[in-house]
Structure 1
Amino acid sequence: MTNIAGRVREALRGDQRVDPDALIARLDAVRRFLDAVDGQLPDTQLVPANTLVERAGTRLALSRDHTVVALAGATGSGKSSLFNALARLTLSTVGVRRPTTGVAHACVWGPLDGANRLLDWTGVLPRHRFVRESALDADDESALHGLVLLDLPDFDSVQRSHRLEVDRLLGLVDLVVWVVDPQKYADRVIHTSYLREFHRHRDVTLVVLNQADRLPPAELPRVLDDLRRLLDVDGLGGVPLLATTAVDPAGIVELRGTLEHTVAGRQAALRRLAGDVDAVVAGLDELVAAGAPSDAPDEGTIGSLSRALAGTAGVPAVAAAVEGAYRHRAVASTGWPLVRGWRRLRPDPLRRLHLPGPVADADAGDPAESLVAATSVPDPTAAQRSALGLAVRAVADRSGAGLPAPWATAVTTAARSRLGDLPDALDRAVAGADLGMDRRPVWWRFVGAVQWLVTVAAVAGLGWLALGYALRALGLPALEYPRVGEAPLPTVLLLGGLLAGLLLAALTRPVVRWSARRASRRAERRLTAAVDAVGREYVVTPVRAVLDRYGQARQALRDAERR
């Protein structure tokens, strides 16, 4: 008998003591996991973890000097009789009527004051609390000081409220003693609905075959072996299994001795919480079962997104307008002065898009000018909108590839979370981009000055010739024109000025076209960079934030695992 009791106590004690600091660190890791996944995963999947953090914090803040042990069983298993036998008092009603025990009863070894807060937390009513301490006991009960023994309602009660109360209390107690009887020890309900659910709490689980006195001595080992087989199937291999009888004080010696060692060790509460963490981590593991997140989305995917955004933002149209505006302004500055006025009558392509140039042209003192863009860039076509949708989807798909389904969904949601703000953001980016059209090149000024010089020469020659013609018409003495070779100087000035102006305009036209294309490419690069920044801020950054949260959650869950 002593050897059996020793083995039971050793099995219940476990391989190692639970370090409170390590347990608190694991709980903190679960809390960090919850912080990381907040808003990313459905709340329904996080209920066990949130419950654990709240319950563990409360339990650790309450008495560490008390161990809450629950007797759980079906109607007729004799758990109330066992409860009374351990207390050596008649505290809980005994019977075979269903249900017999409707509410939890508590027996406290030691002063009740120290356990009241704990019992308030478990919800045991004050009128069902009893104290097992008497001057007549001397030191007979001192080994159990700190034990809070609960007699739970019958888990197979026909009243649903009783079953719910059992389920609630089983989530709060430090150690559970499952009481079965020889007739119903193989009942499917207790094994499938309860014992198998406690396979991660082997360190705080004890099974007793009560009413063993009803079995012939030769049958008891066979029944215990069969019960052990069932427990192994339930994943409770190694869980202590005792045979008890409440009608004989000797029939509970092993159980009482096991409870004494449990109370003395002050480890049951810590082991229960450690088991709870194991169960929660196992339940959450599928949410971060994939490998560490990559640096997705890759630059190739981001480049595709930028190109799609550029099309949506009208970058090609603006680049073409820049080329047209450059040619328009260049010709207006370097063309023949006699036709410049006609050129100025044509609209400037950039002005037509309400893109006067850099932000410096606007009123820098008006905050509204920096917040609201009023461009007239053409609206994107259906094809461009479709291309943008596909690019955003590609970012989400490649970033969420290999992640668990909830995280892949969170990535997709993040990628699309700010699509409604994209049109305004792109408009502001285009309106605020420096298109490089704010300054006139020096060579425009030089060519323009030469054009004015040759035009003045032509006008001077024309005026000189006109004066000579007028004098001849009036019969006045004719003017003597200086000559350049055989040609009169006024004629040379007129024809030379006209020809020089036309020739200069013809020579600068290819330069203007080349410079306009160069300005267009420069503007397109700047616009693409501005649009790329918008895409990274509104699509890529939210996606990477989710991936960072996933990495934090994954690391937190790894930290929460038992070492």
Structure 2
Amino acid sequence: MTAVTDEDHGKGKGKGDSGKEAGGAKSGREDGRWDDGLIARRAAAAAARDADAPVPVLAPADDDAEPQVEAYAPADGPLPARLDALRELVGLSRARLDRDTLAEAGRVLDEAAARQRLSSRHTVIAVAGATGSGKSTLFNALAGAPISDTGLRRPTTSQPIACSWTDGAAGLLDRLAVPGRLRRRPHPGPAAFDEALQGLVLVDLPDHDSAATEHRDQVDRVLALVDAVIWVVDPEKYADAALHERYLRPLAGHAEVTFVVLNQTDRLPGEAADLVLDDLRRLLDEDGIALGEHGEPGATVMSLSALTGDGVPELREMIGRFVSDRTAATRRLSADIDAAAARLRRVYVAEGRPGLGERAREEFTDRLAEAVGATAAGQAAEREWRRNASRACGTPWLRLWRWYENRGLPGSLDRMGQALTPPEEELTARQRVEQAVRIVADDAADGLPGPWAQAVREAAFTGARGLPEALDELAVEAGAPGAAKRGGGTETGKGKGKVAQLGGRPPKPPRPKWWPAAVLAQASMTLLQIFGGLWLVGQIIGVLEPGLVTPALIMLAGVVGGPLVEWACAAAIRGPARRYGQDAERRLREAAAGCGRARVLDPVAAELVRYREVRERYVTVTEFSTTGR
């Protein structure tokens, strides 16, 4: 098949265009307004002939004297709420996500704000295509005049050329950086006065596969700003990988504002055009572009010949319906939001249901209680209660024996036990705290996207600085076993350790009301023993009258009654001692839990709340997604 380009089809059309532009330059700005020559004169003549007809006034293409233009005011719909949610999402995420991650979302917000400040009556449609696809010929056919150059020279189109059907598009064209000398109006005729096309701004772009890098940059820049795009492909390059991989596939979410036109069908014999069109549809489906078939929203795909005009009226009719709907800008912005949201999905959508459950909180509290020695503190408090009871209610002979056993030792049994505690326990206690923090941070961050998981862990580890020392202080105040040693081994220095060693013992437990009676009973038993013993001694030495039974019974009552009183007191204090120990354990446990909650759990919970806030904003952004993401 012989390759025939659109310039081969349109020879002769390009020769007069430069002449027209030159003529326009000669006649330009004589009255302070731009006049592009032949087209403007024909427009004036047509307006004079049909003065009584309701014909739009053809203002100069430069639109210097632009009339009042209504600002972009989208109809009530989800777009304003989505833009607000995206704006809040970016604001809440700046402290947690890097600038590159939020760059696309920021660009979408900036472009949306810029587009909303401009006319809502106009729809900007770009005509894009590869070298030789015939896009300039199609552009001229839609405008009804040879506005864009066509020819054998490559690239023929070097800068964007715009054709506006109505006034008031200057701001939009300034945004596209289309120079005034390249702004045109359609040829006076059916195409120019078609009511459905009023508000259309058509832009012919350079070739997207041009050898000139600046041409490709202009294509990329303008495509990011227009409301819709018409992709013109030819039978030879419709399957070009550069077109599909660089443009169509990344813009699959913009299907509703996309037209794909198979041009130059006059070169295909018989049913070849239908076969090529079917294959083009297949490629677009593989690109993920939804096709607008059977009344469903999606891209418009059709075939035509810009040279012969076959299919051009149908395309013009489709564009007319598209423009008269005045929703192209809203659809484009919605598609841009969808694309930005899709890129941000990995940093906002979690796997599962991350957070701090009750079980994780309880396990964290258990680990801190274990590290601070809450159980040991409770047991020590219970032993202290029983020891006091034993001292108050025990027999004096038993107390004397215990004093004899402990005499000569450097300290009490508790202090001896502390002294014999292996030095590795200090490191073990600190490691337990660090392990507890690490586990709770991992539980809270489980399933979160990377940046938010990192933020949760940083909050936990930052809050955990000084936690072992704070727990040591709690243990010192409670007089927990080993608290003095742990206090001396912290980063705060040995001063705290000395203070702990001096005042680390807990206060004596309160005595129940019956303790004085028990002490009196034990003292009575002791007096009975002494009285009976003295009585017996007096009888033995002959001071008193003999009679062993009575003093022996009195002494036996004292000897037996003393241990009985002690045993009764020990049985009576078992419950209160246990409750006292449990209460001491509970207080230390609650103190450790409060310290851990304030330093670790609350900062982690705050980060999770922040994540839930941005997640809600992200859901709002994607709630009305047109791409189904």
Q: Which residue of 1 aligns with 2:277?
A: 224
1:374-430 Cα offsets, whole Å, 9 max, x none, are: xxxx99634344444444444344445555666555554554442224234434655
Contact 1:181–1:210 (CA under 8 A) maintained in structure 2: yes
Distance change in 2, residues 1:139/1:97 (3 Å): closer
From 130, 133, 141, the counterpart of 1:74: 130
CA 220–416 in structure 1, closer or farther in 2 if over 3 Å, else same? same
Q: Which residue of 2 aligns with 1:197?
A: 250
- Check whether the contact 2:361–2:440 (CA below 8 A) recurs between aligned residues: yes
Aligned to 2:163: 107
Name the counterpart of 1:521: 582
Query: What is the alpha-carbon distance in structure 2 between the residues aligned to residue 331 and residue 231 of structure 1?
Result: 91
Deviation at 1:193, TM superposition (A): 1.9
* Alignment pair present for 1:22 and 2:78: yes
Q: Is the 8 A contact 1:305 1:388 kept in 2?
A: no
Per the alignment, residue 312 of structure 1 pairs with 371
Offset of 1:321 from its aligned partner?
A: 6.1
Secondary structure, aligned partner of 1:63:
coil
Q: Distance in 1 between matches of 2:110 and 2:103?
A: 11
Q: Secondary structure at the match of 2:261?
A: strand
Please tell me whether the aligned partners of residues 297 and 395 of structure 1 are also in contact (alpha carbons under 8 angstroms): no
Q: Is the 8 A contact 1:334 1:447 kept in 2?
A: no
Paired letter, 2:463: R
Taking a change above 3 Å as real, the CA distance of residues 44 and 381 of structure 1, as seen in their structure-2 partners, is farther
Instruction: Write out per-residue CA displacement over residues 75-126 of structure 1, whole angstroms, 9 at most, x where no aligned residue.
Output: 23232343344344555454555544444333333224x541x334x34144
Match of 1:426 among 442, 461, 471: 471
Give 3-state SS (helix, strand or coil) of 2:364's partner: helix
Distance in 2 separating the partners of 1:233 and 1:552: 32
Which one is further off, 199-208 or 47-56?
47-56
Match of 1:303 in 2: 362
Tell me which residue corresponds to 2:623: 559
**Counterpart in 2 of 1:371?**
none
Give, in angstroms, the shift of residue 67 of structure 1: 0.9
- Cα offsets for 1:178-220 (capped at 9, x unmatched): 0122332221111222122232222111012334455557654
**What's the CA shift string for 1:120-177, capped at 9, x where partnerless?**
4x34144455252799999626543322222223222334444344233322221111
Superposed, 1:122-271 pairs within 5 Å as: 122-127=175-180, 130-132=183-185, 140=193, 143-215=196-268, 219-236=272-289, 237-238=291-292, 239-247=299-307, 252-271=312-331
Distance 1:145 1:425 in 2: 74
Residues 134, 557 of structure 1: alpha-carbon distance in 2 compared, 3 angstrom cutoff: closer
Q: 1:532 aligns with which of 590, 593, 613?
A: 593
Instruction: Determine whether 1:275 maps to 2:328.
Output: no
SS in 2 for 1:68: strand
Give the letter aligned to residue 329 of structure 2.
A
CA distance in 1 between partners of 2:464 and 2:124 (Å): 54
Range with bigger deviation, 318-327 or 503-512: 503-512
What is the root-mean-square deviation in Å for CA atoms of aligned residues? 5.5
Q: Within 2, Cα distance between the matches of 1:139 and 1:555? A: 44
What is the TM-score of this pair, normalised by structure 1? 0.67
SS of structure 2 residue aligned to 1:71: strand
Q: 2-side partners of 1:224 and 1:553: how far apart?
A: 42
Q: Taking structure 1 as reference, are residues 444 and 561 closer, same or farther at Cα in structure 2, changes over 3 Å only?
A: farther
Residue 64 of structure 1: aligned partner: 120
CA contact (8 A) 1:84 1:90 kept: yes
The 2-side partners of 1:169 and 1:433 are apart by 72
Q: 1:140 to 1:555 in 2, by over 3 A?
A: closer
CA contact (8 A) 1:330 1:444 kept: no
Aligned-pair CA distance for 1:247: 4.5
Distance (whole Å) between structure 2 residues aligned to residue 217 and residue 180 of structure 1: 19
Preserved contact between residue 78 and residue 181 of structure 1 (Cα < 8 Å): yes
Q: Which residue of 1 aligns with 2:491?
A: none
Kindly provide the amino acid, as one letter, of the partner of residue 70 in structure 1.
A
Distance 1:166 1:46 in 2: 24
8 Å CA contact 1:101–1:153 kept in 2: the answer is: yes
Structure-2 separation of matches of 1:220 and 1:252? 15
Letter in 2 for 1:80: S
Please say which of residues 184-193 and 396-405 is displaced more in the overlay: 396-405
**Paired amino acid for 1:69:** I
Between 1 and 2, higher relative CO (CA 8 Å, sep ≥ 6) is seen in 1
Question: Aligned residue for 1:5?
Answer: none
Give per-residue Cα distances to partners, 1:22-64, cap 9 Å, x unaligned. 2323444445555666655666554444433443344334321
CA separation of 1:432/1:56 partners in 2, compared to 1, >3 Å: closer, same or farther? farther
Structure with greater helix share of residues: 1
- Distance in 1, matches of 2:214 and 2:471, equals 59
Residues 429-484 of structure 1, C-alpha deviations (whole Å, 9 max, x = no match): 55677998488546599479969x99xx9xxx9xxxxxxxxxxxxxxxxxxx9x9x
Q: Aligned to 2:119, what secondary structure does the other structure show?
A: coil
Counterpart of 2:173, as a letter, is L
Alpha-carbon offset, residue 535 of structure 1: 3.0
Q: What SS does the corresponding residue of 1:530 show, helix, strand or coil? A: helix
Which segment drifts farther, 212-221 or 268-277? 212-221
Deviates more, 1:29-38 or 1:302-311: 29-38
C-alpha distance in structure 2 between counterparts of 1:312 and 1:434, whole Å: 14
Contact 2:186–2:192 (8 Å) recurs in 1: no
Pairwise CA distance, 1:326: 5.9
Q: Is the 8 A contact 1:41 1:410 kept in 2?
A: no
Cα distance, 1:526 vs. partner? 0.8
Normalising by structure 2, we get a TM-score of 0.61
* 3-state SS in 2 of match to 1:154: coil
Q: Percent identity?
A: 39
CA distance in structure 2 between the partners assigned to 1:36 and 1:509 by the alignment? 63
TM-aligned CA deviation for residue 71 of structure 1: 1.3
1:312–1:380: 8 Å Cα contact kept in structure 2? no
